[in-house]
Amino acid sequence: MQEKVVVTGLGIISAIGISTDETVKSLLSGVSGVGRISHLDTIHTEIPCAEVQMSDDELRKSLLVSDDEIITRTSLLGISAVKEAMRYASLNFDRKLRIGLISGTTVGGMEKSEAYYKDFISNDNHKEYIDAHDCGACTEKIADYFKCFGYVSTISTACSSAANAIILGSELIKNDILDVVVAGGTECLTKFHLNGFNTLMILDSRPCRPFDDSRAGLNLGEGAGYLVLESAAVARQRNAEVICTVSGYGNACDAYHQTASSPEGKGAMLAITEALAMASLDPCEIDYINAHGTGTGNNDMSEAQALVTVFGDKLPPFSSTKPFTGHTTSAAGGIESVISILALRHGFLPHNLNFATPMKDLPVVPLTALKHNVSLKHVLSNSFGFGGNNSTLIFSRQ
Amino acid sequence: MSVYITGIGKISVQPLDQSGSTPQYFETRYARCSDPAFSDFINPMEARRMSTIIKRAIVSTRMALDEAGIDMPGAVITGTGLGCIEDTEKFLTSMINDNEKFLKPTYFIHSTHNTISSQVAIRLKCNGYNNTFVHRGISFELALHDAMLLFMQGKVNNALVGGHDEMTPAYFSLLDRIGYWKKEVVPSSSLHLSSTTGSVAGEGSTSFVLSSQKSASAYARIIDVSTFYYSDAAKDPSEHIEAFLSMHRLKPSDIDLVMTGINGDVNDNNIYYKVLEKTFKDTMAGWYKHLSLEYFTSPAFGLQVSAQCLKSGKIPEHLRLRGSFNGKLDHILLYNHFKNRNHSLVLLSSC
């Protein structure tokens, strides 16, 4: 009998707060982090984004990272969230635990590369940042801050990267390869992403409106979210408080188009179904769905189709929290797992800001108002990426 | 649980026709792949929109699937250190040069690392498990390990696993600036004796079909894969290697060939020599990076040549680094490290 995988720590940083406490407060008070760009150096200042309200210097100071350390914003955000998650889990490194760090990211160190690329090509001025560009380098910077990780891995499946990191972490624990895994993702806002999504014409010029008939695209965000995962046995041994279990997950590929989801949401449907089967749950037992819900015409219709296919007319309360955090791309699966688990722990249902009119072709209605004092047992989080990388996670109260 | 390599597809810096007994050696700082005629595999209209790495991945995948006799793999998993760097550079350069104006979406769409796994899955219409690992010099081994986990859980009967990286001229010169490559030209056949830092730049695309069923085309059995990390340089990787072997009830002397990742960088080479001296004193040692040259997923090339050895029961002269072959070839251990921080082990046996 394989041990259950449990969650013992949460860490988050996004436009709506730099800790789990601040995040809960923002979700409960309905304050969105989407606004005008103030940190990113871009000509597209008219496009709303959800930036973490700290500069690199402020992040360095708060994390005690020296000014001359070669580090990217992606890593700084990651360190902030991993630090909170490890403190939350009261991880004590005196023990001989096999600890791993699995991080999802797509842009990696691009924020520095796009600033210094001309130098990279022609001179030695910022050459130290060349080796900080790739995704793995960003994960190692996080690992080296803590110096306790004997296993590191980096996953890049676009906007489902962090969800896949959590799946891999759970598998490594189940198979007794590691005792504890810190898994999630980190991504900072870059000109590369902003311009990339802009050329695809899927950035809304107003705050995003997932599942609304008038939706016109997404708002990019940034941040990091990580979970501390361990086996129930290890948590018992070290008297760690268990927040919830990772009861099910699914990974499937839509295999339809590089940047569009299939109209019927096949990959999404397969991922959700697989996660439910693994958790041995009937669809009606899910109490809340944190949807991928980006606010693009294509994603929301495709995801809604998948939800209706799986849940029929008994669709559980659902919302996209991207109007709060923006779409944090590779970090989204981590950030939204933390939000889903905070909802489970504190008994509330975060609502889908900015929703007014149901989609004409498929009128599903997300949560339009915050719900307090609800008892939740099973929550489900969807993360879908370009290229059809679809993943679903289910967290359950003990 | 048994996992077999039942199909291999490869595009590398070696010539396409590898029927001759001697491989190509290099006297250069940087070599690119010998590409097949992509039009034999991909409709030219489609190929025009694809970057080089995608074309290579599609072709090496096709070769591996054909050899294994499989149409639809249960999973598609990719390891790539840099992903689709060619399209990333194109988008980045035009964004910088034109100050964020007049950009076209095509290069951005194909810039993400997971484009390789996605494009392969889209072509095969494969809805199964799909993942992409992007961690420096262990990207491929992490992908391989992910596949092993799927087999352990009984989730798939077969899986497609690839190691793909391209070395664009721009990235070659960026990495050159920070000492990845030798400044002088050293014959690749003597990289194991080099006394200078840096390696020789290469690239490659290697795909494998893994299967829980041993078929006629099977090359070798993968027993286990392990990666480990040191925030500070490893003091004694031997400790970890010996623990890994004993977990499988093996002693270093049970290993018939240690396939090392010796790459010509004197600091990197010394780590391998230390491990050989300490743990594998009487074991035959091999190498392959003088044939593949160095890139983030070069260990995939190492797995391919090791699998060939196990299938044929022979160790070609050009793969031998040290020791003599006594004819027994049951176990091969692939050992690679990246900057003495990331270390990887792949344990293979004959079928």
Is residue A300 within 8 Å of A194, Cβ to Cβ?
no
Domain ranges of chain B: 3-211, 220-349
Instruction: Among A136, A164, A255, select the one facing B127 at the smallest CB separation.
Output: A255
Contact residues, chain A, for B119 at CB < 8 Å: 258, 387
Provide φ and ψ at A237, rounded to 5°. -55, -40
SS (H, E, C) B213-262: CCCCCCCEEEEEEEEEECCCCCCCHHHHHHHHHHHCCCCHHHCCEEEECC
- pLDDT value for B1: 83
Domains B3-211 and B220-349 share a fold: yes
Clarify whether residues A269 and A350 are in a common domain. yes
Number of folded domains in chain A? 2
- Sequence-distant (≥ 6) Cβ neighbours of residue A64 within 8 angstroms: none
Contact residues, chain B, for A120 at CB < 8 Å: 174, 177
Contact A389 B130 (CB under 8 A): yes
- Sequence-distant (≥ 6) Cβ neighbours of residue A104 within 8 angstroms: A154, A155, A156, A157, A160, A161, A162, A163, A164, A165, A184, A185, A186, A330, A331, A333, A334
Is residue A335 within 8 Å of A233, Cβ to Cβ?
no
CB burial of B109-132 (b: ≥16 within 10 Å; e: otherwise) equals bbbbbbbbbbbbbbebebbbbbbb
DSSP A53-85: SS-HHHHHHHHT--TTS---HHHHHHHHHHHHH
Clarify whether residues A290 and A361 are in a common domain. yes
Clarify whether residues A254 and A367 are in a common domain. yes
**CATH architecture classification, B220-349:** 3-Layer(aba) Sandwich (3.40)
State how far residue A199 is from chain B, nearest Cα, in angstroms: 5
Is residue B132 within 8 Å of B78, Cβ to Cβ?
yes
- Sequence-distant (≥ 6) Cβ neighbours of residue B147 within 8 angstroms: B3, B75, B77, B156, B159, B161, B210
The residue among B78, B71, B70, B79 whose CA lies nearest residue B4 is B70
> By the CB < 8 Å criterion, does B72 face chain A?
no
Instruction: Among B100, B110, B231, select the one facing A143 at the smallest CB separation.
Output: B231
A125, with CB counted inside 10 A (0-12, 13-18, 19+), is exposed
Contact A266 B127 (CB under 8 A): yes
Rg (CA), chain B: 20
Q: How many Cβ atoms from other residues are within 10 Å of residue A356's Cβ?
A: 9
Clarify whether residues A88 and A183 are in a common domain. yes
Is residue B134 within 8 Å of A155, Cβ to Cβ?
yes
Alpha-carbon torsion A288, A292, A296, A302, what sign? Answer: negative
Contact A117 B93 (CB under 8 A): yes
Rg (CA), chain A: 20
Rounded CA-CA distance B18/A64 in Å is 55
**Residue ranges in chain A whose pLDDT is less than 50:** 1
Rounded CA-CA distance A336/B216 in Å is 47
Rounded CA-CA distance A16/A121 in Å is 37
Please work out, in degrees rounded to the nearest 5, the angle formed at the alpha carbon of residue B8 by the alpha carbons of B6 and B11: 175
- pLDDT value for B20: 67
Contact residues, chain A, for B117 at CB < 8 Å: 157, 253, 387, 389
Clarify whether residues A228 and A325 are in a common domain. no
State how far residue A30 is from chain B, nearest Cα, in angstroms: 33
Alpha-carbon torsion A276, B70, B306, B55, what sign? Answer: negative
- pLDDT value for B275: 98
The residue among B172, B53, B40 whose CA lies nearest residue B113 is B53
Provide the CATH number for the domain formed by B3-211 in this structure: 3.40.47.10
Q: Which domain holds residue A320?
A: 246-396
State how far residue A155 is from chain B, nearest Cα, in angstroms: 5
CATH number at residue A283: 3.40.47.10
Clarify whether residues A23 and A71 are in a common domain. yes
Instruction: Among A152, A197, A253, select the one facing B128 at the smallest CB separation.
Output: A253
- Phi/psi zone of residue A253: left (φ > 0), alpha (ψ -120 to 50 degrees), beta? beta
Contact A258 B105 (CB under 8 A): no
Contact residues, chain B, for A165 at CB < 8 Å: none
B positions 158-177 inside 8 Å of A (CB): 170, 173-175, 177
Clarify whether residues A161 and A34 are in a common domain. yes
Q: Could you list the active site residues of A?
A: 159, 292, 327
Is residue B335 within 8 Å of B241, Cβ to Cβ?
yes
- Does an H or E element contain B269, and which? helix B266-279
> Closest-CA residue in chain B for A194?
B100
> Closest-CA residue in chain B for A255?
B122
State how far residue B151 is from chain A, nearest Cα, in angstroms: 11
Clarify whether residues A382 and A292 are in a common domain. yes
Rounded CA-CA distance A61/A58 in Å is 5
Clarify whether residues A267 and A229 are in a common domain. no
Clarify whether residues A227 and A293 are in a common domain. no
> Closest-CA residue in chain A for B74?
A252
Clarify whether residues A48 and A179 are in a common domain. yes
A-to-B residue pairs, Cβ atoms closer than 8 angstroms: 186
Instruction: Among B104, B122, B153, select the one facing A199 at the smallest CB separation.
Output: B104
Is residue A317 within 8 Å of A288, Cβ to Cβ?
yes
- pLDDT value for A96: 84
Contact residues, chain B, for A99 at CB < 8 Å: none
> Where a domain ends, among A172, A204, A237?
A237
Clarify whether residues A100 and A176 are in a common domain. yes
- pLDDT value for A398: 80
> By the CB < 8 Å criterion, does B71 face chain A?
no
- pLDDT value for A94: 64
**Residue ranges in chain B whose pLDDT is less than 50:** none
- pLDDT digits over B234-251, tens only? 889 999 999 999 999 999
